[in-house]
Amino acid sequence: MQDAITSVINSSDVQGLYLDDGSMSKLQSYFRSGQLRVRAAATISANASAIVRDAVAKALLYSDITRPGGNMYTTRRYAACIRDMDYYLRYSTYAMLAGDTSILDERVLNGLRETYNSLGVPIGATVQAIQAMKQVTASLVGADAGKEMGVYFDYICSGLGG
C-alpha cells in the first residue's frame, strides 16, 4: 500500500532527485487537507452502518434484485451484499486518508470482477449501490470531503468495469 507521501517520494527516489516544486506542492496540498480527511474518516466510522443502510435502501431494496431469482434473494446473499458494501465504504475511507488508490487495487479490486462474474453478482447494480453510497456519504461529511471520498468510490466502480 502506498500513500500520497510515499508515492511522491518514491517517484523522486527512482530518479535520484530531491523533491521538485511539483512534488512539494502535491505534498503541501495533501498536508493542507489533513484535517478534512481525518474529520471525514471519524464521521464515516461513527455512521458506517447508517450509510450502508441508506445506500442499500436507495439503490437496491424492493427491486427485482431482492425478489426470488434476484442476486440478493435469501438472507445469506442479502448479508453478503451488505458486507460487501461495508468493505467498499471502509476501504474507500482508508484510501481517502492515504490520498492514494493502491490499497483498493491490492485488497479490494484484485480478482473481484472475476468473482462477481462467476457468482452471478450483477456489476451494474453494485455500481449503482456504490454511487448511492457516494451520495449518502457526501450529504453526511459535506461537499469537500464528499468529493474526496467520491474519487475512491468512483475508482472501485471503474475497477469493477462499471
Q: Which stretch binds ligand CYC (CB under 6 A): 7-15, 41-49, 119-127, 147-155?
A: 119-127
Task: Report if residue 52 touches ligand CYC, rule: CB under 6 A.
Answer: no
- 55-71 residues labelled b (16+ CB within 10 A) or e (exposed): bbeebbeeeebbeeebb
155 binds ligand CYC (CB under 6 A): no
SS3 for 114-157 is HHHHHHCCCHHHHHHHHHHHHHHHHHHHCHHHHHHHHHHHHHHH
Which single residue is written with the C-alpha cell 451484499? Answer: 81
User: For ligand CYC, which residue of 96, 121, 145, 149 counts as binding (CB under 6 A)?
Assistant: 121
C-alpha–C-alpha distance, residues 126 and 153, integer Å: 11
Counting contacts by CB under 6 A, is residue 108 touching ligand CYC? yes
Question: What is the end-to-end Cα distance of the chain in Å, rounded?
Answer: 24
Query: 44, 97, 129, 145: which one contacts ligand CYC (CB under 6 A)?
Result: 129
Q: Does 65 bind ligand CYC (CB under 6 A)?
A: yes
Least distance CB 134 / ligand CYC (angstroms): 13
Select 16 or 120, whichever has its Cβ closest to ligand CYC: 120
Spatial distance between the Cα atoms of 81 and 67, rounded to a whole number of angstroms:
14
Residues 30, 40, 51, 84: which binds ligand CYC (CB under 6 A)?
84
- Residues found near ligand CYC in the complex (CB under 6 A): 60, 65, 71-72, 77, 80-81, 84-85, 87, 107-108, 112, 115, 119, 121-122, 125-126, 129
